Amino acid sequence: MEALELLRNGFAVAIEPQNLLFAFIGCALGTAVGVLPGIGSAAAIAILLPVTFNLAPTPAIIMLAAIFYGTNYGGTITSVLMNMPGEAASVVTCMDGYEMAKRGRAGAALAIAAIGSFIGGTVATIGLVLSAELLTRSALQVGAPEYFALLVLGMALLTGLASKSFLKSVMMAVLGLLLATVGMDPTAGSPRFTFGRLELLDGLSFVPVVMGLFGIGEILINLEVQGRSVFQKRLGSLLLTRDDIRQSVGPITRGTLVGFVLGLIPGATSVIASFLSYSLETKVSRTPERFGKGAIEGVAAPETANNSFVNANFIPLFALGIPGTASVAMIMGGMMANGLVPGPFLYRDHADFVWAVIASMYIGNVILLILNLPLVGLWVKLLDVPYSILFAAILGFTTLGAYAVSNSPFDIFVMLVFGFLGYAFKKLEFPIAPLVLTLILGPLMERNLRKSLEMGGGDFTILFDRPLSLAVLLIAAALALLPLLRPLWGRVEVLRSGQETS
């Protein structure tokens, strides 16, 4: 196959020492950026862009791409070890990853995250090689109505996140949606609930909110009672048991698919990918009550989805020049500054460059696996630092991060407020996950609903006229109603078999 031939040539270029070096630098930097809260890959790429102007295009783009998909690896580390999401997308990993760490299984969490990420990223890159254009054109079928339907599906998956009290989960979901309305509304740009504050015109900034809910909230809980030991002693070996691997196969597979599909849709973000993947796992699992208490599936799936998403994001870029996220848009900028315009002619005019970058994405994923897996032991050692010092480091980190998101002290306040809320919710046994999920999905849902109505002239039927969005909505309805129908079905079965229910 011609593609494989070109890929082979690409590998030959990608393993040239200079390109390898820059791939390595990119991976290392990406991991570092991921660890640092508040600085996302988009910012890092933007800052390093001028540096790349002095480099040849191939090593430059190899490095920038490596930063992009490398950040996910770094974000996992702080999520697992400190309940602090270094990247928006790593929020989901906090939920089970940190619980695993508290039970002495931090090593396993980090290991499965690295492995899952590697698999997800590699599979996505294979997709890039095999059928970039076909995939992109298929993904283009997703317009605002389909996206809205997909988000509704995400909300339907919420029912899997329900904890002990269904009522409390619903309250949190509604609260999340209400908080999501803060800011300018998508209809007319009117400010909602902004209390005259400029900084709220864009809504509540996501990263400070989750750093508060998870990171600061956790610190407050731990400080409240003196002498509480936070982390259990490490359990035996830090590697994965056979059970772990067995349990992770399904989640990794599903995570790869979810991340891959979402990565093709321009405008989707990796947070959505990891959240949907996590929610899907809770629905699919036969023992959903283990989630939130250190279930390894809760780490394997979102981490895989994350990485699969990020690598799949390159597909629309290379095929048609459509950047799906801000970071990819920056990489596109870098390419264009070097005279390489992503679009229909890229493969034709600059084949060697394209295939070299694609080949280096494989290599990058390998590098990241090699970089991160052995380092797991080192990271876990961090937990040996006495909490009375560690908590201060976490405080410093989160404060820096909250500020750095938008260079705004207001975000530190936001983090503060949500830190207190995170603490309060935990004490009152309110589940935080539904809140975070609806906070992410809410604004997107309203915007896409609005856009769909604009497309349909104010008519809601546009959502049902289009086959794809109708199909997704039906699935969502089925998923939402299923838990309600099951007990009914059980009763029917019992009646049929002639037995009396007591």
Partner 1 sequence: MRNPLRRSLGLVAAVVIAACGGAAPAGSAPSASVTASAAPKAAWPAPGKTISLIVPYDAGGAGDVGARLLAPYLEKELGTMVEVVNKPGAGSQIGVTELSRAKPDGYTIGFTHLPATIAVYLDPERQAAFNRASLQPIAMYVVDPNAIAVKGNSPYKALKDLVDAAKANPGKVTLGDSGILSDGHITTLLLQEQTGAKFAVVHGAGGAKGIADLLGGHVQAQNVNLSGSNIDLAKSGEIRLLGIFDDSTNPNYPGVTTATSQGYKISVATSRAISAPAGTPKDVVTILSNAIKRAMAAPEFTAKAASSGLSLRYMDPTQLEAYWTDLETRVKPLIDLAKK
Partner 2 sequence: MPPGQANEARALNTVVAGIFIVLGLAAAFEATKMRYYSSLGPGPGFFPLWLGGALALFSFLWLVQIRLASSADGTSGLRPGRAGALRIAAVLGSLAFVAFTIELIGFRLAMFAMLGFVLLTLGRQRLLVTLVVAAAGSFGAYYVMGGWLGVSLPNATLPWLADLGL
List the one residue from 25, 333, 377, 413 that touches partner 1 (CB under 8 A): 333
Tokens in use for 215?
């990171």
Q: Is 47 in the site for partner 1 (CB under 8 A)?
A: yes
Helix pair angle (242-264, 297-312), 10° resolution: 30
Least Cβ distance, residue 142 to partner 1 (angstroms) = 7
231 binds, among partner 2, partner 1, none (CB under 5 to 8 A by kind): none
Look up residue 234 and give its DSSP letter: P
If the CB atoms of residues 16 and 459 are measured against partner 2, the closer one turns out to be 459
- The nearer residue to partner 2, 1 or 188, going by C-beta atoms, is 188
* Residue 140 found at the interface with partner 1 (CB under 8 A): yes
Contact 211, 37 (CB under 8 A): yes
Residue 241 C-beta: closest distance to partner 1, Å = 41
The answer to the question of residue 131 lying near partner 1 (CB under 8 A) is: no
Which parts of 266-325 interact with partner 2 (CB under 8 A)?
Answer: none
Count the neighbouring beta carbons within 10 Å of the beta carbon of residue 321: 17
Site for partner 1 in 252-271 (CB under 8 A): 266-267
Contact call for residue 158 and partner 2 (CB under 8 A): no
Burial string for 342-374 (b: 16+ CB within 10 Å, else e) reads bbeebbeebeebbbbbbbbbbbbbebbbebbee
- Tell me if 490 contacts partner 1 by CB under 8 A: no
We find the least distance from the C-beta atom of residue 327 to partner 1, in angstroms, to be 7
Pick one of 15, 170, 337, 416: the residue that binds partner 1 (CB under 8 A). 337
Residue 431 engages partner 1 in binding (rule: CB under 8 A):
no
Distance CA(87)–CA(206), nearest Å, equals: 10
Kind plus residue range of the DSSP H or E element containing 456: none
Distances (CA, A) of 8 to 5, 312, 357: 5, 20, 12
Quote the least distance from Cβ 217 to partner 2, whole Å: 11
Q: How far is the CB of 450 from partner 1 (least distance, A)?
A: 8
Q: Which string of DSSP letters, residue by residue, matches 279-305?
A: HHHHHH-S-GGGTTS--THHHHHHHHH
Query: By CB under 8 A, is residue 181 in contact with partner 2?
Result: yes
Distance (Å, rounded) from C-alpha 120 to C-alpha 142?
22
Determine which helix (DSSP H) or strand (DSSP E) holds 192, and give its type and residue range. strand 191-192
338 binds partner 1 per the rule CB under 8 A: yes
Please tell me whether residue 471 binds partner 1 under the rule CB under 8 A.
Answer: no
CB 463 within 8 A of CB 140: no
Dist. CA 440–CA 207, nearest whole Å? 11
198 interacts with partner 1 by CB under 8 A: yes
Which residue among 17, 196, 487, 498 contacts partner 1 (CB under 8 A)?
A: 196
CA-CA distance, 210 to 223, in Å (whole number)? 19
24 binds partner 2 (CB under 8 A): no
List the structure tokens of 104.
Answer: 């002495």
134 binds partner 1 (CB under 8 A): no
340 within 8 A of 60, measured Cβ to Cβ: no
Cα distance between residue 248 and residue 300, in whole Å: 6
Residues near partner 2 (CB under 8 A): 33, 36, 39, 43-44, 47-48, 164-165, 167-168, 170-171, 174-175, 177-178, 181, 185, 187-188, 190, 192-193, 216, 219-220, 223-226, 388-389, 391-393, 395-396, 399-400, 403-404, 407, 409-410, 412-413, 415-416, 419-420, 423-424, 427-429, 446, 449-450, 453-454, 457-458
Residues near partner 1 (CB under 8 A): 42-43, 45-47, 49-50, 53, 137, 140-144, 184, 186, 188-191, 196, 198-199, 201-202, 266-267, 316, 320-324, 326-327, 329-330, 332-333, 336-339, 341-346, 406-408, 447, 450-451, 454-457
